[in-house]
Amino acid sequence: MVKRVLLLAFIPLMSSCLSYQFSACLKGKLPGDVTALEKRAKTLSEKGFKEGDFCLGYILLSEGKPERAIPYLMRAYRKGFKKAAYYLGKAYEAIGDRKKAAYWYFEDLKNGHITDKFFRTTRYISGAQLKELNKIAKNYPIVYQYLGDYFFNSGFYDAALYYYHIAIRYGFERAKFMAGLSLYKLGNRREALNTFYSIYKEGNLRGSEEIASLLEKEADRSAGCVAEEARTPEEFVKRKAEIFRKKEQLYKTAAEFYKLSKDTQGYRRVLKKREYYSPNYKGKLLIPDSLNISRIPYSEALKQCREGKEWAELFVASRRRKSFLKAAEEFYRAMGFVISNHYH
């Protein structure tokens, strides 16, 4: 208390500019040239003032010297300057020590300074920490959203969804969007699309953009190499027809939502993709002219087939029974493809 009184008496003796800079430094700001301020902070630190420790540590951190900043910031924190916890987190993060950075960001949260730094830095939230965070969230509900983000980025989509739903009740709009993504990651496509559609109906175009993007990604996803997996030519044709119908419908629906979101580029892109899977568009080249099939080893063609390349699927079919090849050729021709003979 005595030192605090002495410091308050000492600040007015500084020049008005230096006094302003010192006050700003204590708030985590550094206006203008800090040469004189650094000297003054060092003097105060040597006299045992926690404010001097913090300000000197903050200056050193801002100058890109985190190793030198840490002892001063640590001293300030131990003397009761709680704000130093956040900057200790930044200092340890700057030197690549994520474990210690996360520790200090967590201390900062407990002190009531609410940021997402802990959730972005930590690799693991312990049971005790989660219990503490739930207590903090009762006073600072944004923590529920931060917890959702942590679990989402860690791949725990059930837990993410749980916290996003709580955050939604407190009115955090982004949580609703992330809940939709969590549902999609969990395989609940219908509920995810319903969530994004409700966002769109509320007047947010981002809802329709996300629906379009998710549908396009789903359509882009490879269905595997049916020519390798099918047991009979009939099974091959049936599965391929289902795949083509599904992809065409997904691209069609994606185009509708890109149109709603006024994304002309996305709209045109998915319409072009849809053409590839529609039997109404004739004359499509199954094998690009630039591709020399005869020089491609079977192992490479099989790999390409598993990644969804149609030409490679025909190549794989040609290495099975003649009935497989015939079924594949008939299917692709019925879908409007032009097939050359140089894959035989």
Does 19 share its domain with 96? yes
Burial of residue 143, with CB atoms counted within 10 A of its CB: 0-12 exposed, 13-18 middle, 19 or more buried: buried
Q: What pTM did the predictor assign?
A: 0.70
- pLDDT tens by residue, 124-134: 999 999 999 99
Q: Return the pLDDT at 210.
A: 84
Of 96-100, 209-213, 229-233, 274-278, the range with the lowest mean pLDDT is 209-213
Domain boundary among 70, 91, 123: 123
In terms of domains, do 258 and 325 share one? Answer: yes
* Same-domain pairing of 297 and 311: yes
Residue type, 136: I
Tokens encoding 192: 């995810």
Q: Are 47 and 140 in a shared domain?
A: no
d(CA 155, CA 342): 45
CA distances from 143 to 83, 161, 186, 235 (A): 19, 14, 23, 51
Domain edge (last residue) among 107, 123, 139 = 123
On whether both 117 and 129 belong to a single domain, the answer is no
The tally of domains found in the chain comes to 3
The two most distant CA atoms of the chain are separated, in Å, by 97
At residue 17 the predicted structure's pLDDT band, cuts being 50, 70 and 90, is low
DSSP states along 30-86 = --S--HHHHHHHHHHHHTT-HHHHHHHHHHHHHTT-HHHHHHHHHHHHHTT-TTHHH
Task: Give per-residue pLDDT as tens, 43-52.
Answer: 888 898 999 9
What letter does residue 295 receive in the DSSP assignment? G
User: 115 and 184 in one domain?
Assistant: no
- In a domain? residue 311: yes
Query: Are 27 and 109 in the same domain?
Result: yes
Q: Which whole-number Å values give the CA distances from 342 to 270, 309, 339, in the listed order?
A: 30, 17, 9
Instruction: Please give the share of the chain, as a percent, with pLDDT higher than 90.
Output: 58
Residues 103 and 12 reside in one and the same domain:
yes
**The dihedral of CA 278, 283, 287, 290: what is its sign?**
negative
Is residue 219, in this structure, part of any structural domain at all?
A: no
What sections of 111-204 are H helices per DSSP? Answer: 117-121, 127-139, 142-153, 157-169, 173-185, 189-201
Domain that holds residue 276: 226-338
Residues 119 and 152 in one domain: no
Domain endpoint, select from 123, 143, 164:
123
Q: Which CA distances in Å does 138 have to 74, 141, 142, 245, 333?
A: 29, 6, 9, 49, 63
Q: How many CB atoms lie under 10 A from the CB of residue 123?
A: 8
- Residues 139 and 254 both lie in one domain: no
